[in-house]
A and B are shown apart, each in its own frame.
Chain A
Amino acid sequence: MSAGVGVDLENLWIRFGDFVAVRDANVHIKGGDFFSFLGPSGCGKTTILRAVSGFLEPSEGNVLIGGNNMQGIGPNKRPTALIFQNLALFPLMKVWENITFSMEIAGASARDRRKRADELLDMIALPGQGDKLPSELSGGQRQRVAIARALCAEPDVLLLDEPLSALDLKLRQHMRTELREIQKRVGITFIYITHDQGEALTMSDDIAVMRAGVIDQIADGKTIYNDPATAFAASFVGENNVFRGKVLEVRGDQALIRTNRSGDLLSRISTANKGKMNVGDDAMMFIRPEALSLAPTGTQGDHFVTAKVNHEEFEGNTFNIFMEGDGGKELKVAIPNHGQSFEDHSGQDMTLEYEVNNAVAVPAGELAAE
């Protein structure tokens, strides 16, 4: 496995007229990594990808691939290959011609191309399908042909623009594993764009969470999930319950927050915000549904929450309880199903308990839209 070629974005700004699509992005992507940009649609992640692939010149800042500045170098000269959202397979070429298009451009003979295509078709588990047209393949097969076509160009960096979004759920989950395996096998840098946190978390070495042109946090999946840097990252990645309030007291790495409707609650301050949260600041506290558990009703304390139950549902592996929450949002509690008996508490008050370490406080900020 080769070390791979790294990609750096330095103070990258991209503007379209007055609209700022990407604001001062600084990202270091290690060679051979599977790196994801995760964000809702319209957050500028595709714009970054187009800047890396060369279809777009940044307004300010630089794109470096393997340490070389890519300014003024067109997409056909960059060591990148892009897998388009709609795959963009050439509809009139057979599968093998599609896969070896880059070789045709380079002037390779038909025999060499055929041979290489057969190798790649074996790799993507479509042996002997080279003479079909793309329209004669299924969605997942087309997907793999697009990957083979990009790999045939032997790029240093493979860019993927939400390539799985057109597939159905089952196939998407299957392709996640497959993509990750291919990446490990070829050992080149993958840059992956997605709005699906599941895809980002399962496949990536590192993830950049983007919001409206700004990169909120860059870290591995576990860190982003457990230790979000911003309210947006906390609410966008996975399900989360939010408590709004003001910092009442800072105790080292912990903060006591006077919440709007659940009293004073204690939580851990997220790593990125240590030392930055002061008494009196607006703050948000996040607790995952699975981190809450039931406690004797009416228990008071700085890690107990009491609220009225709106409704409950049974989801198989968990019982979900929805309670009156903060700011019109419901508070969700997920109780693992161990086969215990479970009674309906709708309309009653219930008290929940959490471990302080599982609650995380960040400065108040924009939440992800649901």
Chain B
Amino acid sequence: MRARIPFALSALTAGLLGAGQAAANDPVELTMYYPVAVGGALTDVVDGLVEDFENEHPDIDVEAIYAGNYDDTRVRAMSAMEAGDTPQLSVMFSIDLYELLEQDAIVAFDDLVESDAEREWLDSFYPGLMENGRLDGKTYGIPFQRSTIVLFWNKDAFEAAGLDPETPPENWEQMAEMAATVREASDGDQWGVMVPSTGYPYWMFQAFAFQNGHRLMSEDGTEVYFDDPAAIEALEYWVSLADEHDAMPDDTIEWGTLRQNFIEESTAMMWHTTGNLSAVRSDADFDFGVAMLPMKTQRGSPTGGGNFYVFKDTTEEEQRAAMTFIRWMTAPERAAAWSIETGYMGVSPAAYETEALRDYVEDFAPAAVARDQLEHSTAELSTYQGGRVRRALDNAVQAALTGQMTPEEALTQAQQEAEGVLRRYAR
């Protein structure tokens, strides 16, 4: 892959630069990979934060390397590990937990904390964001760029279709109706709603299933429940948005171009990660609102995004330094600044109590929707052999949306595949 070459070069350069500085004052050197999944200038934000940290902590030197999307970052970190060049810490997909554990790659934060203040810090985050980072009572992932799925709606389009621009759909039925109304009123020019079905289809499907009161996996990551009637009903509803209501385009909808679709007003509503909020705010030249996802029997969205992990194959000194860095990065003021810059959630209640974020939320109400939705959230789909299990579900969702299979057939097949893969892990 050609992406490797510049990476190797930059790693080399980083090594050389690092070596030069080490001779000067011998700081602890940390390498961190991190992903950006929503585009935009997030790398600048991270670089700025790292610079601030280094100014405050001259004894620690952090090399933050942007590594692509979540999958790329996992590959980079794992390859570096296999090459004997383990990074000290990384931001990786929150759902990589089981894989990282199976590879014996990471350490629990419980074994790193020393003081009471640090122990308190471990408990300072929203519990909903910790679900994907904890296993058997130990904490392995610290939430950083975390999101949920929210509904973005175009108020101008609602008004043009004769709907109340200030009222987003409350439930499935309303969403289908409102979306169909927009479609009709625009004479087929504008779609009512788009839910992305490439990239992370399983994630969107989890929201539908959870709104229908159904969780797709067991807490210990060894079982999945894809073919439950509630799950089938959820997928049937998703398919019906295109098939019956003519409110959503046929076939799959691309994750990567969806935001552009919304900004160019080719759809009146979209489901997308909160991580897009700041970008939509700066690009949209119409009035838009952000709401919690609609409900069937309950509200619901999976959480998503990246956690900090500390790697095992590093010295104790480096692990301590990594923790200092992570604590600094997730402190309320930084969490608030990060949330304002990106749209990702402030990861702790304290972040929303900072003046900066409080003022921001007051001025721009959509910024609080993700937080408010957190109490209705569920952990992102994460199991042993997660790559295969998620792929099975992705395929099922796409097969149903493209009309290759009925939702029931597709989910039954995904369930069988997942069970085959997970057989050895049942406790």
A binds B: no
